[in-house]
A = this chain, B = another copy of it.
Amino acid sequence: MLLEPNDESTVAGELDAAALDRVLREARTHSAWLDRPVTDEHLRRIYDLMKWGPTSANCSPARIVFLKSREAKERLAPALAPGNVEPTQRAPVTAIVAHDSRFYDELPRLFPYVDARAWFVDSPALAETTAFRNGTLQGAYLILAARALGLDAGPMSGFDNAAVDREFFPDGRWKSNFLVNLGYGDRSRLRPRGPRLTFDEAARIL
């Protein structure tokens, strides 16, 4: 619910405390999961929310492979860091957040105002940086979209990207970025939360 100016909040249009808690303030990275399924409908709702997040020239390079079956999970396991194997086996779904290295071929449709494809087609370094930056932004939108829909997330970068790419993307066009376990986390198995940097350590106002 958005707070109105006459509510207790000082800012109109702000999410209330429970919503801020769920999406960021009290949300945690989970590696232990309740025995409660995640449906294909959940995955479609996550995508239909995350897709609206902003990307540069609407380039939308992220591609998501949701691993739900035992067989698909088993194809992933050899690429994982040892500590990530069991949490991934037990998670109802593991998302591979990848990006399309030829994302710019969709720009005439996604951003029809200028010839944005021409910015990238002969500039592989710019294309790679753009795909990685914007695909990562979309991975963050995926994490927060899952939380906003009542699920929990367990993002991981401890795995062998090249091995995942060989197994899942043998034609070389999509490239793996990071992984996100999805499900309903078991809060009783969380360890204490790590500290964060203070504003004055991480930010400046000029």
Contacts and interface: CB of A to CB of B under 8 A. Distances in A.
Interface in A13-55: 13-16, 18-20, 22-25, 27, 29, 40, 43-44, 47-54
Q: How many chain copies does the complex carry?
A: 2
Query: Secondary structure of the A side of the interface?
Result: mixed
Interface size classification for chain A = 35 or more
Contacts of A29: 54
Contacts of A1: 1, 16, 18-19
Contacts of A68: 205-206
B51 A22 contact: no
A162 B47 CA distance: 34
A58 interface: yes
Contacts of A199: 44, 47-48
Contact of A202 (B62, B145, B158, B202): B62
A157 B144 CA distance: 22
Contacts of A130: 157
A158 B66 CA distance: 32
30 contacts: A1-B16, A1-B18, A14-B148, A14-B149, A15-B15, A19-B148, A23-B144, A24-B50, A24-B145, A24-B148, A40-B205, A43-B205, A47-B199, A51-B196, A53-B140, A54-B143, A54-B153, A56-B156, A56-B157, A63-B202, A66-B205, A69-B206, A71-B206, A106-B197, A109-B195, A110-B196, A111-B194, A132-B132, A132-B136, A137-B137
Cβ-closest 7 pairs across A and B: A140-B140, A1-B1, A13-B150, A72-B206, A58-B194, A136-B136, A14-B150
